[in-house]
Structure 1
Amino acid sequence: MVVKHSNFEKIFDLFNVLLLGVLSLVFLYPIVYVAFASLSDPAQLVRHTGILLWPQGFSLSGYEMVWSNPNIGKGYMNTIFYVIVGTAINLLLTSMGAYVLSRKGFYLRRILTMGVVFTMYFSGGLIPFYLTVKGFGLYDSRLALILPVAINTWNLIVMRTSMAQIPASLEEAAKIDGANDFGILFRIFIPVIKSTMAVIILFYAVQHWNSWFNAMIFLRERGKYPLQLFLREILLSGSMMDVTAAGGEDVNNALTLSLLKYCTIVVSTLPILLIYPFLQKYFAKGVMIGSVKE
């Protein structure tokens, strides 16, 4: 059946396409600017004014400086560890918690759900959080960046809602075949909600990849620093150098740090951006399934 659109609908659709196109360019330009700036010659880049649409004098010196910095490689390895181990623990605990809260026969389900939702709106604050982590002996430990954020409340609710929509007949059939709760969760429920699981994996991975504040508070040994904390140091060093540079060597150092900032941002952002295309097909479906209760 051919659907005919009125002139008003055609104009409205055209307006939407143009508006979304302009917004996409506005949102994309900062990424393009950083990418082109990282490939530019620092002396030419600092003299450039206006919109940057191509590298100003192609140069890879910034990336050579990034990879020659031992802190970058060390930070990369630490961040990969936090992402892999942290996300695995996140998925395990979140899926188990969501399974419990989604069981209609569990009589404490509503009370526990209210308690979980309460933590979304109220917290003890930074000082009690710090004292709790230190009291459990996690200070200056890698686990300080993993265990305190083992379950995200929003992700738990999304997964719980998704599991609650699974037909009860699947669970009953599994119990008849002799499956226990762990078998039902890992062999029935998780494969069924794989779209939601993919979205939750993305959320947790991005959370760990971008995390720096907890590391700044709880870690003292630089060998445990994540990449983002080293990036923060570089950005702050570059900002201070820009302010204090007066001439000669200081100006050269400021230019070098300015280029180093752009290159480090690209190096630290590119890996997580490459994950999105592989999970994009699950993103909208997973969020809708986990957020809307029919």
Structure 2
Amino acid sequence: MEKPSPTFMALKSVLIGAVALSVLLPLLVVVSTSFASDEQLRAAGGYVLFPTDPTLRAYETLFTSPLIFRALGVSAFVTVVGTLMALFVTICMAYALSRPVLLGRPMLMAIILTLFFSPGLIPLYLMIKELHLLNTVWALILPGLFAGFNFIVMRSFFMGIPSELLEAARIDGASDFRILFSIVLPLSKAVIAVIGLFYAVGFWNSFFNALLYINDQNLWPIQLILRSYVVQGSSLSADQLGVQQAPPPQSIKMAVVVVALVPILLVYPFLQKYFSKGVITGAIKG
């Protein structure tokens, strides 16, 4: 391959820089606005690029507010419990259908069909209602407990594990559960980390299930509050926040955005080294 010309490298650098700036600039505005003082917000018209007199008042209000604290607790519970349960279900099904079984192909086709056809909102709502899950946190967990795409990636990864290794363990008297937990899972840390990240991001960012199934504001996750008070333009009053005097609405809204983003931003760097390896290997094997 020919070495790229200096002109091409310069154009590519400018293009990449422009894309990076278009991503980072809105994020900088959100963070800066959340730290801005009342006077600077009024002078700037609601959005600040660089806070001249930064203050933590908006964050102090959020973390002392019962509404926001409960929402963060609900989101954390749904994300942790939902991710663990979803991983358990996906791992068990992927391992079972990665082995030669009699009913494996019909079940696999049924799972693949879920990638093309959804059950519909009304039947899903009626099912949740009949199971008496309305206004419970389980209505935020159980509908997202299984994803066909994640299953296919994990099954493909399991099928890439040498069958001779599994057969040797079976000859030594190991059961399927022993093979799964002692051999398959230690060899599959990359794909488990990636699928776990997929599920965690999905549970943390989900607000639609809460919008459908949750009427009790005490069970709202942080993303539903983000949608209600940021996207729809509603304002958080002092009574809703549980404080005597609330900071400016724009500062509170941007602080909610930052609080909703930070947990995933903190988790992703620890799983980044597994990301490409898990997805690529799970996609090409089998």
- TM-score relative to the length of structure 2: 0.89
Q: How far off is 1:256 after superposition?
A: 1.3
Higher relative contact order (CA 8 A, sep 6+): 2
The aligned amino acid for 1:57 is D
Selected match of 1:165 from 160, 180, 191: 160
Instruction: Determine if contact 1:234/1:257 at 8 Å carries over to the other structure.
Output: no
Q: How far off is 1:225 after superposition?
A: 1.9
**Equivalent position of 2:262 in the other structure:** 270
The aligned amino acid for 2:44 is H
The aligned amino acid for 2:157 is S
**Equivalent position of 1:154 in the other structure:** 149
Selected match of 2:120 from 125, 133, 138: 125
Report the Cα distance in structure 1 between the residues aligned to 2:5 and 2:34, rounded to whole angstroms: 44
- Secondary structure of 2:285's counterpart equals coil
Post-superposition CA distance 1:174-212 (Å, at most 9, x none): 101211111111211111111011111111111111111
Post-superposition CA distance 1:138-194 (Å, at most 9, x none): 122221111121111111111011111111011101101211111111211111111
Report the Cα distance in structure 1 between the residues aligned to 2:224 and 2:234, rounded to whole angstroms: 17
Instruction: Determine if contact 2:144/2:203 at 8 Å carries over to the other structure.
Output: no
Report the Cα distance in structure 1 between the residues aligned to 2:168 and 2:73, rounded to whole angstroms: 44
Selected match of 2:95 from 81, 92, 99: 99
Aligned residues: 278
Q: How far off is 1:85 after superposition?
A: 0.8
Higher mean Cα deviation, 221-230 or 141-150? 221-230
Report the Cα distance in structure 1 between the residues aligned to 2:186 and 2:50, rounded to whole angstroms: 45
Higher mean Cα deviation, 84-93 or 138-147? 138-147
- Asked if 1:45 corresponds to 2:45, the answer is no
Selected match of 1:65 from 55, 61, 68: 61
Instruction: Determine if contact 1:45/1:56 at 8 Å carries over to the other structure.
Output: no
Instruction: Determine if contact 1:159/1:290 at 8 Å carries over to the other structure.
Output: yes
Instruction: Determine if contact 1:161/1:291 at 8 Å carries over to the other structure.
Output: yes
Q: How far off is 1:68 after superposition?
A: 2.6
Report the Cα distance in structure 2 between the residues aligned to 1:65 and 1:208, rounded to whole angstroms: 25
- Asked if 1:221 corresponds to 2:213, the answer is no
Report the Cα distance in structure 2 between the residues aligned to 1:65 and 1:19, rounded to whole angstroms: 40
Instruction: Determine if contact 2:61/2:246 at 8 Å carries over to the other structure.
Output: no
- TM-score relative to the length of structure 1: 0.86
Q: How far off is 1:13 after superposition?
A: 4.7
The aligned amino acid for 1:133 is I
Instruction: Determine if contact 1:161/1:293 at 8 Å carries over to the other structure.
Output: yes
Report the Cα distance in structure 2 between the residues aligned to 1:12 and 1:180, rounded to whole angstroms: 59
Q: How far off is 1:53 after superposition?
A: 3.9
Post-superposition CA distance 1:89-143 (Å, at most 9, x none): 000000011112211x213222211111111111121111100111122122221
Q: How far off is 1:12 after superposition?
A: 4.2
**Equivalent position of 2:239 in the other structure:** none
- Asked if 1:144 corresponds to 2:154, the answer is no
Q: How far off is 1:57 after superposition?
A: 3.1
- Secondary structure of 1:209's counterpart equals helix
Report the Cα distance in structure 1 between the residues aligned to 2:46 and 2:129, rounded to whole angstroms: 49
Structure 2 alignment gaps of length 5 or more: 236-244
Distance 1:285 1:15, change over 3 A: farther
Instruction: Determine if contact 1:102/1:161 at 8 Å carries over to the other structure.
Output: yes
Report the Cα distance in structure 1 between the residues aligned to 2:270 and 2:227, rounded to whole angstroms: 28
Distance 1:7 1:282, change over 3 A: closer
**Equivalent position of 2:50 in the other structure:** 54
**Equivalent position of 1:185 in the other structure:** 180
Report the Cα distance in structure 2 between the residues aligned to 1:254 and 1:223, rounded to whole angstroms: 20
Selected match of 1:25 from 14, 21, 25: 21
Instruction: Determine if contact 1:76/1:227 at 8 Å carries over to the other structure.
Output: yes
